[in-house]
C-alpha cells in the first residue's frame, strides 16, 4: 500500500484508552460532541423524510420502524481519547427527540442496553467499527420488543443463544494501522435455528440483497433497508419472521415493498448517517432503480423462495477418515425431503438412506422432522476410490424439487 494512503488511513483512526480504536469517518467526533449539531430546518428535513415513509406505509396497512445503530463512541464513551465529549445535542438525538415529540414514530436506539450489558461481555469489537454478535443480539432484542408492540412475533431469549469461541482479528480499524493490533471478538449464534440465509448477492456494499426464510411460515414478513450494522442482527431477527428481504440502501424502494407485501418495513441507519442532510447518504446518494442498484429485479427477488435446512454430522471438514465410513446428518423441509445425494469429486455415489430417527429435531415445524436423519456407507474399495484428498458434496432434494447443498468440503481418505 502506498505510504500516503497508509498515512491517510492511520489518521482516520483515534486510539482511545486500553488500546480501543474509534473511527473519525464522516466527522463523527464533531457530531458526537455536538459541534456539528443540526439546525431546526435540518431536523425538520429528517422528520419530513421519515414521517413521509411512515405515512406511505400506513396507507397500505404496513407497520414502520426506524432503527438507529449507535456509534461505538457512544456505547464506549469511557474508552474514548481523553477530553472527548458525547453530547445530547448530537444530530441523531436531535432527530430522535423531534420524531418522538411531533410524530407517532418512536425510533429504536439501543445505546443503553449495549452499554449496560458490557458488565457480562463486550458488545463491540475493540479494534473494529461495528458491534460483535453479542451486541447484535442485544440490538435485535430491543428492536424485536418494539416491533412486537404492533406485530405479533416471537422474541429470542438469551437462553436460546449459544456462545462460541472468540475470533481474534484486527478488525476494520486495526487494519488501518501498522502494525495491525488484534483483539478477540465475541461470537454467538442461535442454538436451535429455524431460519436460514436463502440468498445473498455478491455486491457487498450498497445494493446488497439478503433473503432469509423460516420454516415457520405462519410468522409475519419484513422488508429491511439497511447498512452494514444490520449484518449482525439478521441471523437473530430471521428467527422472528417467516421471510425477510434486506437491501443495503438508505432509501425505501416502494416497488419492492408492494411486491413483497410485508407486515413491517424497517429502515436502519448507523448514527453518523443521521447527520447534516447535505452529508447524509439518505439525501446525497442518488436513488437509482432497484435493478441498477442490486442487479436484481423486484420479481427476481420475489422468486427466490423455498427452504431446506440440514447438516452433515460426519465426516467433518478437512478430516481424515478410514474407509469404509458413514456420511451422516439430517435435513428438513416444509414439504419433506425426497432424497439425499452423495457426490465425491463431482461423481455421484448414490443416495443416502433417509428416514432415520432424530427425536432431537422434532421441534422443527416440518413433516418427518423426527425422522429426518440420513446415512450413506462409503466403501472406497468397492467404489474404486483411491486414498488421498477428495471433495465431498451432499445435496438434499425436497419433495417439491428444491435442491440445497448440505456440505461442500474436502476430506482425506487414509490408505
**Residue 131: other Cβ atoms inside 10 A:** 26
Q: Quick check: 268 and 175 in contact, CB under 8 A?
A: no
Q: 3-class DSSP state for residue 230? A: helix
Q: 3-class DSSP state for residue 411? A: strand
Q: Specify the higher pLDDT residue, 149 or 9.
A: 149
pLDDT tens-place string over residues 40-52: 999 999 999 999 9
CA 373 → CA 138, 159, 189, 274, 330, distances in Å? 34, 26, 23, 49, 4
pLDDT at site 2 = 58
How many helices (H) and strands (E) the chain has is answered by 13, 19
Residue 3's pLDDT band, with cuts at 50, 70 and 90, is low
As a whole number, mean pLDDT of residues 264-278 equals 98
As a whole number, mean pLDDT of residues 392-411 equals 95
pLDDT at site 130 = 96
As a whole number, mean pLDDT of residues 271-298 equals 95
Residue 169 has pLDDT above 90, yes or no: yes
CA 371 → CA 271, 327, 362, distances in Å? 47, 16, 8
Q: What is the 3-state secondary structure (H, E, C) of 350-381?
A: EECEEEECCHHHCCCCCCCHHHCEEEEEECCC
Q: Quick check: 45 and 38 in contact, CB under 8 A?
A: no
Report the percent of the chain where pLDDT is more than 90: 93
Q: CB-based contacts of 380: which residues, under 8 Å, 6+ apart?
A: 323, 324, 386, 387, 413
CA 226 → CA 223, 234, 412, distances in Å? 10, 10, 42
pLDDT tens-place string over residues 334-379: 989 999 999 999 999 999 999 999 999 998 999 899 999 999 999 9
pLDDT at site 178 = 92
pLDDT tens-place string over residues 21-45: 999 999 999 999 999 999 999 999 9
Could you tell me how far CA 99 lies from the centroid of its own chain?
27
pLDDT at site 204 = 75
Among the listed residues 254, 250, 247, the one whose alpha carbon sits nearest the alpha carbon of residue 274: 250
Residue 289 has pLDDT above 80, yes or no: yes
pLDDT tens-place string over residues 219-246: 999 999 999 999 999 999 999 999 999 9
pLDDT at site 323 = 86
pLDDT tens-place string over residues 87-98: 999 999 999 999
DSSP alpha helix (H) spans, 274-383: 281-284, 290-294, 298-303
Task: Write down the pTM of the prediction.
Answer: 0.92
pLDDT at site 327 = 98
How does the average pLDDT of the chain come out, rounded? 95
Amino acid at each position: 500500500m502506498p505510504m500516503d494512503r497508509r498515512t491517510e488511513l492511520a489518521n482516520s483512526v483515534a486510539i482511545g484508552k486500553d488500546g480501543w480504536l474509534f473511527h473519525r469517518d464522516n466527522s463523527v467526533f464533531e457530531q458526537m460532541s455536538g459541534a456539528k449539531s443540526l439546525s431546526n430546518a435540518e431536523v425538520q428535513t429528517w422528520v419530513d423524510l421519515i414521517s413521509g415513509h411512515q405515512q406511505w406505509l400506513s396507507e397500505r396497512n404496513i407497520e414502520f420502524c426506524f432503527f438507529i445503530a449507535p456509534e461505538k463512541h457512544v456505547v464506549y464513551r469511557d474508552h474514548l481519547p481523553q477530553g472527548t465529549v458525547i453530547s445530547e445535542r448530537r444530530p441523531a438525538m436531535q432527530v430522535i427527540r423531534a420524531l418522538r415529540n411531533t410524530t407517532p414514530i418512536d425510533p429504536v436506539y439501543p445505546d443503553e442496553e449495549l452499554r449496560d450489558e458490557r458488565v457480562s461481555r463486550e458488545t463491540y469489537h475493540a479494534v473494529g467499527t461495528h458491534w460483535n454478535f453479542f451486541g447484535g443480539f442485544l440490538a435485535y432484542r430491543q428492536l424485536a420488543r418494539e416491533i412486537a408492540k404492533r406485530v405479533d412475533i416471537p422474541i429470542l431469549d438469551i437462553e436460546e443463544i449459544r456462545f462460541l469461541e472468540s475470533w481474534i482479528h484486527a478488525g476494520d480499524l486495526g487494519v488501518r494501522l501498522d502494525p495491525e493490533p488484534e483483539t478477540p471478538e465475541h461470537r454467538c449464534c442461535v442454538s436451535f435455528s429455524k431460519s436460514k440465509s436463502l440468498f445473498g448477492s455478491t455486491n457487498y456494499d450498497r445494493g446488497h440483497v439478503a433473503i432469509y426464510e423460516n420454516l415457520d411460515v405462519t410468522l409475519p414478513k419484513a422488508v429491511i433497508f439497511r447498512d452494514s450494522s444490520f449484518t449482525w442482527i439478521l441471523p437473530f431477527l430471521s428467527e422472528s419472521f417467516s421471510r425477510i428481504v434486506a437491501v443495503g440502501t438508505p432509501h425505501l424502494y416502494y416497488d419492492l415493498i408492494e411486491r413483497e407485501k410485508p407486515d413491517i418495513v424497517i429502515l436502519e441507519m448507523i448514527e453518523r448517517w443521521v447527520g447534516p442532510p447535505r452529508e447524509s447518504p439518505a439525501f446525497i446518494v442518488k436513488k437509482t432503480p432497484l435493478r441498477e442498484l442490486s442487479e436484481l429485479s423486484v420479481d427476481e427477488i420475489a422468486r427466490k423462495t423455498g427452504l431446506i435446512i440440514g447438516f452433515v454430522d460426519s465426516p467433518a471438514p478437512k478430516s481424515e477418515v478410514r474407509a469404509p465410513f458413514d456420511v451422516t446428518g439430517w435435513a428438513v423441509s416444509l414439504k419433506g425431503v425426497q432424497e439425499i445425494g452423495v457426490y465425491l469429486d463431482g461423481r455421484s455415489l448414490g443416495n443416502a438412506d433417509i428416514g432415520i430417527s432424530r427425536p432431537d429435531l422434532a421441534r422443527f415445524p416440518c413433516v418427518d422432522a423426527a425422522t429426518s436423519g440420513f446415512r450413506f456407507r462409503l466403501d472406497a474399495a468397492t467404489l474404486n476410490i483411491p486414498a488421498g484428498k477428495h471433495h465431498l458434496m451432499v445435496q438434499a432434494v425436497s419433495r417439491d424439487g428444491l435442491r440445497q447443498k448440505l456440505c461442500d468440503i474436502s476430506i482425506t481418505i487414509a490408505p
